[in-house]
Structures are given as structure tokens and as C-alpha cells.
Structure 1
Amino acid sequence: MSVDTGSVTLPRRAQGSQDQRPAPARRSLPRWALVWGAVFVSSWGGNQFSPLLLMYENREHYTSLLVNAFLGVYVLGLAPALLVAGSLSDRHGRKRVTLVGLGTAIVGSGLLAFGPLGPEFLLIGRLFSGATVGIAMAVGNSWIKELSQAPFDPRADRAAGARRASLSFTLGSGVGALVAGLIAQWGPAPEVLPFLIHIAVAVPFFFVVARVPESRSEPALAQARAAGPWWRQLRIPAASHRRFVRVVMVSCPWIFAGAAIAYGYLPTLLRASTGSWGLVFATTATVVALGVSSAFQPFARRVHSATSARGLSVMVLVIAAGIGLVIVSDVEQSIWVGLAANAVIGFGMGIGLVSGLLEVQRIAGPDGLAGLTGLFYAVAYAGFLAPAVIAAVASLVPVTAILGVVVALALVSWVLVMVSFRKHLPVA
């Protein structure tokens, strides 16, 4: 005899002859939480590299441009995965594509562990890590959202899926950076051990994900496969929605542009002030930004508004203020101002991730959710290219001037969002 707990079906414990009363069934984790863990470990793999940039620059004597290219090449693996994985999961199911993403996570960390043999292993490993996060964001987040509603989780509110999905990303990213950074500063084999630890954490999630039911029904999967070759289904009709084009796409690149500048690029600017504690600062900056983002995300829905663009507009202003603090930190060579900049930018990230996903969920239909989620993250993650662009131009123009232009561009984006949202409020 079995009982459906709402999460998984578990057998009742056999009763002795002296007591025939049925024992209460044990409850396992809810289904969305199992997928949440898979997205968490995928995000861990994507961001564990960030605090190590300074280590590669100091120990391997790589140029600043190459080090920031390690950060940016991640986007080249991430963007295609974001755009393709959603369509594939609509045809073959969320579970199968998520398992592929866990495979790329292990391959990526394995290649990064061979980093001491040459920068090519780091570049290719970062491509695989980017693909991992792309799959997790487009497919894993959609799966979490679908498992956070009826019939899987009928008690969850409408925003639960967005909150849970964004929290899994930021917490996973923060833990990955923390583990790697601490090992890089004080642990053995800092260029190898962080990636082996991630592999050890990621492998069990193959078995965890295998227990989770597919949220896409068989008729829906069959209909998607019958519609023709998968590449013809890459078109996302909801992507042409005016609110998505004029509001979401204008604002969302600032989510990760701010993050990349704050905890990816700033530690290299403060190298003279941090000295031998540079890796500790890089790790702390990353954890502060992602920790503040994670802490605020459960409350970010209060900033978001369905009748305006309040959430995304506030995010852009906050990110602009945070980059302004990055400029002050660089000029004053102040570690404390640098940490304050990361806290402010983390606050903006928390608002932007939740508000952006809520916008996507309102605009996309059931069959377009994974695709539009992937496009949202692809555009947002383009911001990770910012440090590489800044490093390339920094030989010609002072960094403070470049960052001043970045702040000005953020303010222009804010004006465009404020002008556009009133004309594009209706969402089907």
C-alpha cells in the first residue's frame, strides 16, 4: 500500500501484529525543491571561477585582457544554450535536458581542473560552464516554475516560481564563489581542488533529478515534436511583445553588467590596496553581492508592479548607483567602499532577477515560457562581457572615464524604460 505525499510516493511502514494502526508516512522534499537543488549546483559551477580571476592573473601571469576574457567567454557558451535548451525541453521534456546540463557541469569543471596545463583548458571549460548555466536558467527555472503551481504545489502563490528560481541561482553562485575563493586563499591545490569539489557535489544530482516527474504532459511533448524540426521552433513569438522589447530587454543587461563590474573587475582595480588579501577581497565581494541579492529576493515582489515598470526601473537606478560607488572605490582605493558597491549592486540584482522573471511569466504563454526565459537570461548575461570590453579600452582611456560612461548609459536605459512602459502596459 502506498500514499501520495504530494512530493513522491512512498510505501507505508509495515506494522507489527500488536499495533495495526497505520504509521504516518514520511514526507520527502517537495518536487520543486529537488530541481531547485539541480539549478543550485549548476549555478555553483558557473560562478566558482569569478573569485579566481585575480589568482590566475597573479600566479600564471596572464594579462588582464585574457583574465577578463575567461569571464566573458562564459557568455559564448551560455547564450546558445539559453536560446536552444528551452525549445529542446518543450519537445523532449524538462528532465532530459536538465540531465544534459548536469553532464556539461561535470565536463566543465573537469576541464577547469586541467587549467594548470594551459589557458585553453580554462577557455573551453568556461564554455561548458556557460552552457550548464544556460540550460539551468532556461529549463531548470521553467521546471521550478511549473512544479510551483497546481497540481504539483497548489498552495504556492503566483510569484513562488520566480522567487524560488532566482534564489537558487544567486545562492548557488554565492556558495560556488565562497568555496573556490577560500580554497584559493588558504587551501591546497587552489587551481584544481575547487573544481573537483564541484564535481563531487554535482554527480549525485543525476539521481536526484531522475526522481522528479516530468511537468510537460505527453500530449504537449508530442504536439511540440509534431510541429516540425526543433530549429524551426526556436522562434519565440512572445519575444516581439512590445513590453518585452521596450522594457525588459532594455533593462535586464544591467543585472549582470553590474555584477561583473562589482565582483569580477573591481578586485583587479584594488590590487594595490588588497595586496596578499586580494583573493579574500574578491571572494568577499562576490559573497556580499550575491548574499544581499539572495536575502532581498523573497521581498522583491513588493517592489515589482504589474501596472508599471517599477521593479526594473528601480533596479537600473540602483545598479547605476552601485557602479558609481565602484568609481569612488577605484579613485580612493577603498576596500570598504568597494564592498558597499557590491552590496548596492546585489540589492539591484535581487530586484532585477525577480521582477524580470515575473515580467517574462506574464508575457509568455505556457508553451513559450522556457524559450522566453532563455532569451531573458541571454540578454541579461550579455552584461558579463562588460569587464572584457572595459579591459580592452582601458589601455586608451582611463578606467574612471569608462565607468562614468557606463553609468551614463545606465541612466539612458532608465529614461527609455520610463518613457516606454506606459505605452506597453497591456500583457496578454
Structure 2
Amino acid sequence: MPESRTASAKAVGARETAVDEPSRATASPPPTWWVWLAAWPVTAVFVLSNAATPLYVLWQREIGFSKGTLTVVFAFYIVGLLGSLLVSGVVSDRLGRRTVLLPALGLALAACVVFATAAGVTALIVARLCTGIAVGAVVSAGMAAVTDVAGPHRKRLAALVASCAMVFGAGLGPLLAGVLSETLPAPTVTVFVVETVLLATAVLAVLRMPVRRPAAPAGGAWIRVPGVPHGDGRRLALGIAVFGPGITATSFVLSLGPSLLSGLLGTAGRIVAGSMAFVMFLTATGVQFAVQRLPRGTILIAGAVATALGMVALATAVHTESVPALMASALLAGAGQGMGQLGGLSLLNSTVPPQRLAEANAALNVGGYLPAGLLPVSAGYLSDAVGLPTGTTVFAAVLLALAAVGGLTVVVSRRKVADLA
């Protein structure tokens, strides 16, 4: 009888769980277009993340600050992003994607207002900090939402769509800002008015998004360094080893690329600076579609090689004052980030359960954005002290070494991690 009661209780519990958490096997998945629409908030927020890039030269002239200060303004974005990642992934996994995404979009809208009215470095720092917090929430909760909407049978599609949404938005922002700031009045205002409209449409997408609140969230502290379930640490480390150098390379182009164009190479147009960033991230988007069917290990190794070659091209550009070499370095940096990001997300999506996925995404981005914040800032201050060519060369040499180590680590690990095949 006791065993019978236990079995009966288990059966009732199973029925209650089935009622509380609709089965993905029986519920019809949302159509594929919803997977793409679910990624729109990621794109909209990442448009904001880099929209200020072509405007920094303009602010530098109007407000007056050094290259070192410029990279500090950029670094506050990283500070906000990393702080957000300590919380947003866990909160999203426990309370739901929408609970995190809506406040993040509200903060992004506030950042638009601060950018549009900025009259000093402090305002730029505040705007970048708010943007970083919003981006941190979106890269964890937003990317996980794309995977949730896609369902268990479209995980590789979800990784591709989420990753491309991020890099396409990151590239569209500076292009949009460059064109609008040179063709319309009030260059530092009009850009953020347009971005406000884009963010408003993202709010509507989140409100209609077919995602449910998690039924069985994981435990642990609410504020913590994000991680992955036991057994997935190697996959996370491999993703960071390639994604980290890749996104650091693109961060350098975003923060000091306009200065290279306007100072060293004598090209001052904001459309040119915005176009360089756009082409960089367009490459990051396109290369992911090109390699999506390759083994994950091959994608990661190719990403490391692209980043390393990008650093060779960057050093060549500053020593030869070559715009084509600088453009080549931007394209290779974009390819390196795109493949590192796709490979890292695909590895995590393949094994991490939904109730830990946002936290896993946060962990990948913490590992990537730490060097992306520290190294360009160091290069900026070093360039102020010893000159832009020397500072850039040192940065390129350090990142080349990191990319090489990352690629070799993936090569060594291919036999130990089945998902790399």
C-alpha cells in the first residue's frame, strides 16, 4: 500500500507538472518567422550599442577630450554590461525572458535621451553605462528567448539567428549614425530619435513574443558570476578562447578606428567611419551564414585564424598609413568575432538546458567582454603616451598571441569534446 500511494502521488505530480508547464513535444512550435522576430530586440539594442561610434570624433571636437578618455567612455559601456551580466541571466532563467527584456529596453530608451542631450564627458559616460546594462540583459535574456521560441529541434538555427542579430545590429548602428549625422541637421540628436523608434518596435515584439515563464528555475544566488552546468565548463572555455579575442578586435576598431581614420590616415568623414564599422559587422553576419553547416571546431579555429590575421593587417595599416590595410583588419576582425560567437553559442545551445541557458549566454559574454574592455582602454592610454602607431602595434601583438592560443586550444580539444565535430 505505501508503494501504491507513492506511485499514485508521483502520477498526480506528473499530471500537475504537465498542466503547469506545457509540453514542447505536444504543443505546436511557433512558425520560423517568429524565431527571426524574437531576435529583433537584440538587433535594436545593439544598434544603440555602437550608434555613438562615428559621433565620438564630433564630441571630441566640441567637448575636448583625449584618446584615453575616449576609451574610458567606451569602457563604461563594458562596466555596465558586465555588471548586468552578473544579474540578468539568472533573473531571466528564474522569472522569464520578458521580465528582463522590457526593463532593458526602457533603459536603452533612457540612454537615447541622455545621448541626444549630452553636453559633457559625464553625460556620455552615463549614456554608455545605461547602454551597457541594456546590452548585458539582451545578450543573456534576448538570445535565450530566441532559443526558447525556436524550440529543441531548431537549436542551430536559434544560435545562428541570435548571433547574427547581435552583430548585424552592432554594424547597422554606426552606419545609420554616420549617414544621418552628415545628411540631417542636429547630428547628435537625430540619430537617437531614429533609434528611439526602433526600440519602441522592439518593445512591441517582446510584448507579443511566444515565451512562457520558466516552470522549474534553477537555484543559487541571484547575483553571481554567471556559469554553466557541471560538464559544460570546457565548452564555455573553448567559446571564450576564440570569441574573446574576436570581440576585442572589433571593440578596438569601434573605439579607436575613427581616430585612426581621422588622425593617422587623414579621413575625417563620419560616414566613412560608420561604413567601416558596418562592413566589419556585415562580414561578421555573412560569414556565419557561410560556415553554419561546418563542424563547430572548424568554425572556432577559423575564427581564431581570422582574428590573428586581422591583427597583422592592423599593424601593417598603422605603419604604412594604408586605408585598405585598415579595412582588411576590420573585415578580418568581424569574421573572427562572428565565427567565435557562433561557435561558442552553438556549443552552449547543444547541451545547456533551458533553465540555465540565459546564464550560460551571460557567462560567454563575460569572458568575451572582459578583454574587450581592458585591452582597448590600455591601447588608448598607451597611444596617448607613445603615439598611435606604437600603441596599436602593441595591442595587435598581444591580441595576435591570444587568438593563436585560443585556436590551438580548440585544436587540442577536438578529440575530447564531441560537440566540436
Q: TM-score scaled by structure 2? A: 0.84
Identical columns (%): 23
Aligned to 1:282: 273
AA of the residue aligned to 1:212: M
The structural deviation recorded for 1:404 is 2.4
Aligned to 2:157: 160
Q: Which runs of 5+ in 2 are unaligned?
A: 1-26
1:232-271 matches, within 5 Å, as 236-238=227-229, 241-244=232-235, 246-271=237-262
Aligned to 2:130: 128
CA–CA separation in structure 1 for the residues paired with 2:332 and 2:386:
29
1:391 matched to 2:393: no
Aligned to 1:343: 331
1:184 to 161, 181, 185: 181
1:34 matched to 2:37: yes
Aligned to 2:399: 406
Aligned to 1:119: 121
Range with bigger deviation, 398-407 or 134-143:
398-407
AA of the residue aligned to 2:39: W
For each residue in 1:283-327, what CA deviation from the matched residue of structure 2 results, as whole angstroms up to 9, or x when unmatched?
12101101111122222223333xxx3222221111010111011
1:322 to 310, 319, 342: 310
Are 1:53 and 1:68, in contact at CA under 8 Å, matched by a contact in 2? no
For each residue in 1:178-212, what CA deviation from the matched residue of structure 2 results, as whole angstroms up to 9, or x when unmatched?
11111233332122221122112212332332122
Range with bigger deviation, 203-212 or 122-131:
203-212
CA–CA separation in structure 2 for the residues paired with 1:295 and 1:134:
24
The structural deviation recorded for 1:416 is 3.4
**CA 1:426 to 1:347, structure 2 compared with 1: closer, same or farther past 3 Å?**
closer
CA–CA separation in structure 1 for the residues paired with 2:186 and 2:231:
49
AA of the residue aligned to 1:279: R
Aligned to 1:207: 204
Are 1:40 and 1:171, in contact at CA under 8 Å, matched by a contact in 2? yes
1:360 to 329, 348, 362: 348
1:193 matched to 2:193: no
1:375 matched to 2:363: yes
The structural deviation recorded for 1:237 is 4.4
**CA 1:368 to 1:6, structure 2 compared with 1: closer, same or farther past 3 Å?**
closer
Are 1:270 and 1:333, in contact at CA under 8 Å, matched by a contact in 2? no
SS at match of 2:187: coil
CA–CA separation in structure 2 for the residues paired with 1:245 and 1:301:
19
AA of the residue aligned to 1:390: A
AA of the residue aligned to 2:78: V
Range with bigger deviation, 362-371 or 395-404:
395-404
SS at match of 1:205: helix
CA–CA separation in structure 1 for the residues paired with 2:263 and 2:396:
19
Are 1:242 and 1:424, in contact at CA under 8 Å, matched by a contact in 2? no
CA–CA separation in structure 2 for the residues paired with 1:239 and 1:137:
22
AA of the residue aligned to 1:348: G
SS at match of 1:418: helix
1:149 matched to 2:151: yes
* Bigger helix share: 2
The structural deviation recorded for 1:272 is 3.7
The structural deviation recorded for 1:426 is 7.1
**CA 1:6 to 1:311, structure 2 compared with 1: closer, same or farther past 3 Å?**
closer
AA of the residue aligned to 2:298: R
CA–CA separation in structure 1 for the residues paired with 2:333 and 2:252:
10
For each residue in 1:15-36, what CA deviation from the matched residue of structure 2 results, as whole angstroms up to 9, or x when unmatched?
xxxxxxxxxxxxx984333321
2:167 to 150, 165, 170: 170
Are 1:361 and 1:369, in contact at CA under 8 Å, matched by a contact in 2? yes
1:70 to 68, 73, 76: 73
AA of the residue aligned to 1:282: A
For each residue in 1:101-125, what CA deviation from the matched residue of structure 2 results, as whole angstroms up to 9, or x when unmatched?
111110111111121x211111011
CA–CA separation in structure 2 for the residues paired with 1:47 and 1:241:
31
CA–CA separation in structure 2 for the residues paired with 1:208 and 1:406:
38
The structural deviation recorded for 1:43 is 1.0
Q: Which runs of 5+ in 1 are unaligned?
A: 8-27, 151-155
**CA 1:68 to 1:204, structure 2 compared with 1: closer, same or farther past 3 Å?**
same
Are 1:46 and 1:129, in contact at CA under 8 Å, matched by a contact in 2? yes
2:142 to 132, 140, 164: 140
Aligned to 1:415: 408
AA of the residue aligned to 2:407: W
**CA 1:274 to 1:187, structure 2 compared with 1: closer, same or farther past 3 Å?**
farther
Q: TM-score scaled by structure 1? A: 0.83
Are 2:105 and 2:203, in contact at CA under 8 Å, matched by a contact in 1? yes
2:113 to 106, 110, 113: 110
Range with bigger deviation, 380-389 or 160-169:
380-389
Range with bigger deviation, 408-417 or 247-256:
408-417
Are 1:263 and 1:285, in contact at CA under 8 Å, matched by a contact in 2? no
Aligned to 1:230: 222
Are 1:262 and 1:323, in contact at CA under 8 Å, matched by a contact in 2? no
The structural deviation recorded for 1:6 is 6.4
AA of the residue aligned to 2:168: L
